[in-house]
Amino acid sequence: FPPIESAGISDGDEADDRPRFGSPRQEFRSGDPQVVWWGRLAERYLPLRDRIRVRFTDPRGVVAQEQTAEKTRKPYLRSTLKLDGDIAVRHGIWRVEALLDDRPIDERTFRLAPARPPQ
């Protein structure tokens, strides 16, 4: 029984109330505000929500952020990485892992690219 029934990476823009925490994305650019990992937890794992952590690792293998997943509307969890400061210039392929008691239960990647030049 997998703990995560579905998951993804999105931009977190819920202005139009999309059910998956914004538009799905695989590439972000410097200047984008954030990256959101979201997951739909299987019902039998709902009592373990507080034990799930999300880790964002940059292209060099450095953990940029690790924190307990944010509880949103049941059965969803999410974690937001703000693309500001030095994080916004760590271009390349990032890895996001959801962990239950330090064991991976979901892994995703996304690309962070430089901002598009003005036209």
pLDDT tens digits for range 32-47: 999 999 999 999 999 9
pTM of the model: 0.92
Cβ contacts of 57 within 8 Å, gap of 6 or more: 63, 64, 94, 95, 96, 97
pLDDT digits (tens, 9 = 90+) for 67-100: 999 998 889 999 999 999 999 999 999 999 999 9
* Distance of alpha carbon 22 from the chain centroid: 12
The answer to whether the CB of 106 falls within 8 A of the CB of 5 is: no
Q: Give the count of beta carbons closer than 10 Å to the beta carbon of residue 53.
A: 16
Predicted local confidence at residue 17, as pLDDT: 52
State residue 109 phi and psi, 5-degree precision: -130, 155
Q: Is the pLDDT of residue 104 over 60?
A: yes
For the segment 9-22, the average pLDDT, to the nearest whole number, is: 71
